[in-house]
């Protein structure tokens, strides 16, 4: 992917990922890319939404899903200097909060939950 066109965003806002009747891709290759990108979300929170949206289609990836993962990789090439850096000398005060509402939706009784993590006083996730 060294000679490919660069990308300014991890995923276009108009991209709709669905289970299409597109051509199927190699599942192992797609899983490998998703695994690498999932690992990177620890220090690159800007790609988190796009990666986990693509991760929904791990069982049966299509060509359109692979295109989006490659766009995320092209975005990472251009933005290699971005990310969260953790110097050895700095304090590492990590605080995490979560909230859950089990069966709280009155229409379909689905549970909702959310979390947020702060590194010192900065929201990171």
Task: Supply the mean pLDDT for the chain.
Answer: 80
The model's pLDDT over 30-65, given as tens digits with 9 standing for 90+, comes to 899 999 998 888 888 888 888 888 888 888 888 888
100: which strand partners? 113
Q: Any residues with CB less than 8 A from the CB of 5 and at least 6 apart, and which? A: 74
Q: What is the pLDDT of residue 32?
A: 92
Contact 41, 53 (CB under 8 A): no
The model's pLDDT over 73-93, given as tens digits with 9 standing for 90+, comes to 888 888 888 877 766 776 778
Looking up tokens 């290759």 gives 29
Whether residue 1 has pLDDT greater than 70: no
Looking up tokens 């991890």 gives 10
């Amino acid at each position: 992917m060294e000679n490919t066109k660069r990308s300014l965003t991890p995923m276009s806002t108009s991209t709709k990922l669905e289970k299409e009747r597109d051509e199927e891709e190699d599942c192992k290759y797609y899983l490998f890319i998703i695994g690498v990108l999932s690992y990177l979300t620890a220090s690159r929170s800007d790609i988190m939404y796009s990666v986990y949206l693509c991760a929904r289609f791990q069982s049966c990836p299509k060509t359109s899903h692979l295109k989006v993962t490659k766009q995320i990789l092209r975005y990472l090439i251009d933005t290699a200097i971005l990310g969260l850096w953790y110097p050895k000398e700095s304090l590492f005060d990590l605080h995490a909060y979560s909230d859950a509402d089990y069966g709280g939706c009155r229409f379909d009784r689905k549970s909702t939950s959310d979390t947020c993590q702060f590194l010192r006083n900065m929201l990171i996730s």
